[in-house]
Structure 1
């Protein structure tokens, strides 16, 4: 896994609104509309390291927003893997998919999230799940969508939480926390 190479390959500026592209090097969140942001690069880098994505993994990207994390994940899994980005804001689904289309990664896609379900339970299981918005509590419905030895990374409240599934049921988990971060709420 080479997170640094992913950052060199996937230009953050390609995932910002035209007026904001000159700020792509800013190490802070940048608004993308609808109260959502393109996350701070330092935070995204830390999340990808904690997620430990490998070539060939099936990854779910919840709250794909601008598509930047989806593209970074696509680089990490390579053509033998797959990445599904889900977004609830319809305008951002279009924005993120158009941004992702700038890269030749047919193994990655972004689509509208089902407003009545969290994640993609009908397409589970996933080796890795990244959540780029903050729920109030650990979303067990996403833990259910992990493979055995799968990892979920989610900012619960303000605490970055890493969940590794260790057995066949969602209660078979190891949970660790990794500092405080600020994210938009999970809607």
Structure 2
């Protein structure tokens, strides 16, 4: 059976980054660096994406949540890893990026993956859970219990928290947390519910 690293490498070869970048950025697709997709958001550095996906270890048929889906490149990579027997929900708070990501997924021909606009005041997409795997491509100041609660038993969450990459497993006695190096990401933000002021930067 292929290792997680081999499966992720195959996914990244099958789902090129180019189709998930704005036209002005496509000449830079081979740069191992984050690239702007507008609205203060980025398409993450490929090395970082690869490392996160290896930690996540998505299995065929998994139900997966992609928080901060942006241009939906990670959503499509996750969909390749789950295969058509699985399902992937991307969640994005910027309406223009929701539309951009959704169009990119249609072009990629992966109908088992889709992008939803984030619900104000809510992290993730609890109505679609529980999930075997959750990927978060934005940095939280602390481990979000709201996302841990969306994992199924034995499920895995990978996200950066206060600069450290965490792999969180939902075990019977509570979450088991591993640290895997230092990273920099845009902050994880949940828009406030209607009628409430927006919070300050998350990190």
State the TM-score, normalizing by the size of structure 2. Answer: 0.89
Partner of 2:102: 97
Partner of 2:155: 150
**1:22-64 Cα distance to aligned partner (Å, 9 max, x none):** 1101000000000000000000000000001000000000000
Partner of 1:178: 180
Q: Confirm or deny that 1:20 pairs with 2:22.
A: no
Q: Which one of the candidate residues 40, 52, 64 is aligned to 2:69?
A: 64
Residue aligned with 2:108, SS:
coil
**1:95-144 Cα distance to aligned partner (Å, 9 max, x none):** 11111111111100011010121111122100000000011110011000
**1:43-102 Cα distance to aligned partner (Å, 9 max, x none):** 000000000100000000000001000000000000000000000011110111111111
Residue aligned with 1:73, SS:
helix
Q: Confirm or deny that 1:76 pairs with 2:81.
A: yes
Partner of 1:44: 49
CA distance in 2, matches of 1:115, 1:174: 29
In structure 1, runs of 5+ residues without a counterpart are none
Q: RMSD of aligned C-alpha atoms?
A: 0.8
In structure 2, runs of 5+ residues without a counterpart are 190-203
Residue aligned with 1:92, SS:
helix
Partner of 2:12: 7
Larger Rg: 2
Q: Which runs of 4+ in 1 moved over 4 A?
A: none
What are the within-5 Å matches in structure 2 for residues 114-129 of structure 1? 114-129=119-134
Residue aligned with 1:4, SS:
helix
Partner of 2:196: none
Residue aligned with 2:155, SS:
strand
State the TM-score, normalizing by the size of structure 1. Answer: 0.96
Number of residue pairs the alignment of both structures matches: 184
Partner of 2:195: none
